[in-house]
Structure 1
């Protein structure tokens, strides 16, 4: 893994919109079916909106009909950190950016999706910035 991005809370607040800050830095969740990338099928790479680290590509994105963008794997396993999340009375696996430690969403397994990994990385659109492939 490359260089880690570390900023103060004040620096994050100054750089991010209130919604981005709430999700990325305070582990919030955007409302289902409201995110910019929920139904996007265009080719491209998805980067962390906070630090610009590469996280996912459209090749691993699939339609799960859950209300958030879904991917079956990150671009590289070490681009994300997986942590046990026991909030809200359940046990889930939180997904965080390995570069800046921003909250991205959660990953679920064994739900029966026809994907190579049988995993669903359920990621907040507001945590991502998608860029189309370079021309030429």
Structure 2
């Protein structure tokens, strides 16, 4: 790992931990408002999307309770800091019976950055800067 990659991973760890604490202390809407206040309008390159996906996923392994929502918000913040627009997509799993299972993805320019496949999920809402 290069020095710049190690530095980026440290930044990701700080962001993921901060978002996790934020979601514990504040509401989702308040944390989302803090993230989306950044003026992010341009599309990220595939390299930037891959870097954010790698950094957030790696950092989340060290942060207890770093759920899909924590990771999506963290990735959105990291992209927005560079002016790159993205959405948090929230959906629920189909066919789960009485048990409701929700999931969050980070989407940028129709590319899923974090969260895996949307197959088997019903789309509920998108939140973000796109």
TM-score of the alignment, normalized to the shorter chain, above 0.5? no
State TM-score, norm by structure 1.
Answer: 0.26
Judging by fraction of residues, say which structure has more strand: 1
**TM-score, normalisation: structure 2:** 0.26
